[in-house]
Amino acid sequence: MSTEIPEQRVVFDGLNLSLAQGTGVATYTRMLARVVGDLGYEIGVVYASPQTPPKDRLLREVAFFDEKQAVKTPLVRQALNGFADQLRSFTTIRPLPVEFDGVVVQRQFEAALPPRHHAFATRNLFATARRHFAATNKFLRLEFERQPDIFHCTYPLPLQSRSSCNIYTIHDLVPLRLPFTTLDNKRQIFRVLKKIARQADHIVTVSENSRHDIISLLGVAEDRVTNTYQAVQFPKASEERPVTAIAEQLEGSFGLDFQEYLLFFGALEPKKNVARLVEAYLSSGVDIPLVLVTGQGWKNEAENKLLSQLGEQQQKAALANRRPRRTVYRYDYVPFSLLATLIRGARAVLFPSLYEGFGLPVLEAMVLGTPVVTSRESSIPEVAGDAALLVDPYSADEIATAIRTIADDADLRAELSQRGRVQAAKFSVDCYRERVGALYRALA
């Protein structure tokens, strides 16, 4: 572990770290904070608090971990807070430090929070920043007790830290490339992106495909955009867990047999292409179940209706003592440890996404040695290399053929599993640390 620059501080935004079930950006932020800490930087994260952080130091720590803070406040109080936040946004915001003095037992949050980090909080930070930008076309200014050397927004947020090197991660330009798949206010997100393009000290992204999009669509000079890719790491226990233990947990938790199902995991939203995946699976002729682990999503009314209808059909078949040849199981959310079990136990992971900034599920499957069927669009071929079956995500017939191939060919699965581990090594934590370290040293 390097300690060459222990005096330098990096502060990240905590936008996605505060979400109960997390997102791909939360995974990215945790890994980024971890490797930056390994490089010897002092780490801070600034969070949005639903209420004004208490002045008392001890109570501020308690309030930080108190989920009841998020209980809906009365409309009058919301209006007053909103008005006060709007007024504050025209000044420099000074987040309060949250000291972790051991008052709260934090083991519950060890996997969700970056290790050894300084926390800061201020009321409604991210919502206030967005409203301020919408009204003024200016970024909300932050000032800390000790200013960070680098303020790194891990998402395109209208925030900046005074007297710091301000850098922003733009994962992808999906709102511009596939505007029909997102709920963003396209005019506003475009304004934020163009403002970042003009005034950021540097822009970070996670694939060459996204880097090309940022340069060509936002007009950013090539030397102001760096691709660091991403990395994932499962606990060693999850990677080395015996097959017998995996099989027992699959049977006990899900009623599934080891390598006797196909798996998709990701948000239930348009770009993930779940409806076309289900259509392809149902026409593939494969007689093992398809398991969908679908986190919260948006614009998914058609998918929810389809999955509900399939569930009703399966229930009717069960009542009539008939087993449908093809079965779809859906789980809204599973803990990370159970997800690792599902990935390791699957015959293959299916991820025919329409567009990705990186494609974490592909890498996560390869790290655990599970064969993958995925898309040949956007960044995904960079991640998959020659270690997956690539398909046209707009062709249900091509997806169905790949499902049939991966399900029936054990030799191919063994080869892809081996190739996948080799390909995944290119995105190891060590490689990621080197890329991030080179970037930060260049910005110092």
DSSP code per residue over 370-382:
--EEEESSTTHHH
Asked if pLDDT for residue 291 goes beyond 90, the answer is yes
Token pair of 268 as six digits: 């239930």
Lowest mean pLDDT among 229-238, 301-310, 431-440: 301-310
Report the interhelical angle of 360-367 vs 410-424 (nearest 10°). Answer: 110
Indicate left, alpha or beta for 114 from its phi (over 0: left) and psi (-120 to 50: alpha). beta
Reported confidence tier of residue 3, pLDDT bands at 50, 70, 90: very low
∠ Cα 410 416 420 (to 5°): 145
In terms of Cβ atoms closer than 10 Å to its own Cβ (0-12, 13-18, 19+), residue 122 is buried
Lowest mean pLDDT among 77-91, 151-165, 341-355: 77-91
Tell me the pLDDT tens digit for each residue of 185-230. 999 999 999 999 999 999 999 999 999 999 999 999 999 999 999 9
Reported confidence tier of residue 286, pLDDT bands at 50, 70, 90: very high
Asked if pLDDT for residue 20 goes beyond 60, the answer is no
Name the phi and psi angles at 432, rounded to 5: -65, -40
Mean pLDDT, residues 56-61: 94
Asked if pLDDT for residue 324 goes beyond 80, the answer is no
Asked if pLDDT for residue 176 goes beyond 60, the answer is yes
Asked if pLDDT for residue 117 goes beyond 80, the answer is yes
Mean pLDDT, residues 6-32: 84
CATH of domain 9-231+429-443: 3.40.50.2000
DSSP code per residue over 230-297:
------HHHHH--HHHHHHHHHHHH---TT-SEEEEEE-SGGG-HHHHHHHHHTS---S-EEEEEES-
Asked if pLDDT for residue 111 goes beyond 70, the answer is yes
Percentage, residues of the chain above pLDDT 70: 95
Mean pLDDT, residues 241-256: 96
Q: What share of the chain is helix, strand, coil (3-state, %, to 5)?
A: 45, 15, 35
Asked if pLDDT for residue 382 goes beyond 70, the answer is yes
What CATH class has 236-427? alpha beta
CA distance 193 to 199: 10
Longest dimension (CA), the chain: 70
Reported confidence tier of residue 106, pLDDT bands at 50, 70, 90: confident
* Average pLDDT of the residues of the chain: 92
Name the phi and psi angles at 283, rounded to 5: -100, 5
Lowest mean pLDDT among 41-55, 176-190, 314-328: 314-328
Lowest mean pLDDT among 79-83, 139-143, 153-157: 79-83
pLDDT at 115: 85
pLDDT at 73: 67
Quickly tell me which residue has 């090594």 as its tokens: 425
Percentage, residues of the chain above pLDDT 90: 76
Helix (H, G, I), strand (E, B) or coil at 161: strand
In terms of Cβ atoms closer than 10 Å to its own Cβ (0-12, 13-18, 19+), residue 198 is exposed
Indicate the residue type of 11.
Answer: V
Reported confidence tier of residue 22, pLDDT bands at 50, 70, 90: low
Helix (H, G, I), strand (E, B) or coil at 69: helix
Most confident among 8-22, 50-64, 114-128, 198-212 (mean pLDDT): 198-212
Name the phi and psi angles at 153, rounded to 5: -80, 120
In terms of Cβ atoms closer than 10 Å to its own Cβ (0-12, 13-18, 19+), residue 265 is buried
* Whole-angstrom Cα Rg for the chain: 23
Mean pLDDT, residues 273-288: 96
Asked if pLDDT for residue 23 goes beyond 80, the answer is no
**CA dihedral sign of residues 425, 433, 38, 156:** negative
Mean pLDDT, residues 250-272: 96
H-helix or E-strand spanning residue 126: helix 125-136
What is the spatial order of strands in the sheet that 348-351 belongs to? 328-331, 290-295, 262-267, 348-351, 372-375, 389-391
CA distance 97 to 60: 9
415 Cβ neighbours under 8 A, 6+ residues apart: none
Domain ranges of the chain: 9-231+429-443, 236-427
Domains 9-231+429-443 and 236-427 agree in fold: yes
**CA dihedral sign of residues 133, 15, 175, 82:** negative
Token pair of 187 as six digits: 């005019």
CA distance 35 to 305: 42
**CA dihedral sign of residues 30, 33, 37, 43:** negative
Reported confidence tier of residue 80, pLDDT bands at 50, 70, 90: confident
pLDDT at 255: 94
pLDDT at 383: 98
pTM of the model: 0.93
Asked if pLDDT for residue 240 goes beyond 70, the answer is yes
Token pair of 96 as six digits: 């309060």
pLDDT at 5: 47
Identify which has the larger pLDDT, 325 or 192.
192
Task: Give the DSSP letter of residue 180.
Answer: G
Nearest to 295 by CA among 228, 360, 372, 226: 360
